[in-house]
Amino acid sequence: MLKKQYPNIEIIENGKNLGFAAGNNVGIRKAMRNKADYILLLNNDTVVDPKFLTGLVEVAEKNENIGIVGPKIYQYENREKVLLSGAKILFWKGCVPKGHDLNKTTDVDMVSGCCMLIKKEVIETVGLLDETYFFGWEDAEYCINAQENGYRVICTPIGKIWHKVGGSYGGYYASNPTVLTEGIRNQLIFINRHASHLEKISSIFFMVPQIGRVVFWRAGNVNEIKIRAIAVKKGFINFRFYKRMMEK
């Protein structure tokens, strides 16, 4: 259907769900082979302003050190409510991203992978998205790696999109056990990689109430609470398995 409506586009079918990082990497490799100057990551549960891409490119072109640009993201259900406009990563609070509400183009720690414009030079230097992360935290990882290689990460209100949060996985993320397990596992991997020793200790105290909210908030019944608790436990188990694999 999409091919009939837009005959000039190329659709890549992976055959199975590769996850966010690996799935996007298929497209990134294709774009790099085609000698693209920019790579745009854009979720399928977004609606965009017609001029958003022009705005992102204009910002990226202002300085050669600008490597990644993200737009101001609004809630789809409440069109005027800002969902995220870049974020500061609070390493001492479990590396949780704290969103900004920016009214001007600003350097940030990270922008959301739901819409991220990346210069080809960043791909050539940093590489592809880290497929250690199946779903979640790969955007934070990539932004941190880009900055460690001398690139700036920018968020701009010039670009504007609306995000149907959870549209790609069926609603509130804690209600999806697989997504919840991945979220816990990947957060722990990110903390382990990037937080200092003291930040890792402080993260424990902030993650406990955070996990409690995730398990109980919007839970319809006791059975759903149990399912979420099991998913959280599995996230910790999967993280320990990952850590043992890295230590070999």
Q: What is the mean pLDDT of the chain?
A: 89
- Answer yes or no: do 183 and 76 share one domain: no
46: nearest Cα among 67, 21, 70, 19: 70
Residue 138 sits in the same domain as residue 183: no
Give pLDDT tens digits for 63-82.
999 999 999 999 888 888 88
Is residue 76 a part of any domain in this protein? Answer: yes
pLDDT of residue 217: 78
- Last residue of a domain, which of 128, 163, 198? 163
Q: Which domain holds residue 13?
A: 2-163
For residue range 30-66, what is the model confidence (pLDDT) as tens digits? Answer: 999 999 999 999 998 899 999 999 999 999 999 999 9
Binning pLDDT at 50, 70 and 90, where does residue 201 land? Answer: very high
Q: Do 110 and 148 lie in a common domain?
A: yes
All residues at 6 or more sequence positions from 57 whose CB lies less than 8 Å from its CB, including other chains: 38, 117
| Residue 64 placed within a domain | yes
What is d(CA 89, CA 60) in angstroms, rounded to the nearest whole number? 22
198 and 111, same domain (yes or no): no
CA–CA separation, 200 and 198 (whole Å)? 5
Mark whether 191 and 116 lie in a shared domain. no
- Domain final residue, candidates 132, 163, 194: 163
Give the number of domains in the chain.
Answer: 2
**pLDDT band for position 232 (cuts 50, 70, 90):** very high
Q: What is the pLDDT of residue 48?
A: 93
Q: Flag whether 22 is in a domain.
A: yes
Q: Mark whether 90 and 52 lie in a shared domain.
A: yes
| Per-residue model confidence (pLDDT) at position 176 | 85
Task: Examine the domain organization and report whether 119 and 140 are in the same domain.
Answer: yes
- For residue 168, tell me if it sits in a domain: no
Last residue of a domain, one of 113, 128, 163: 163
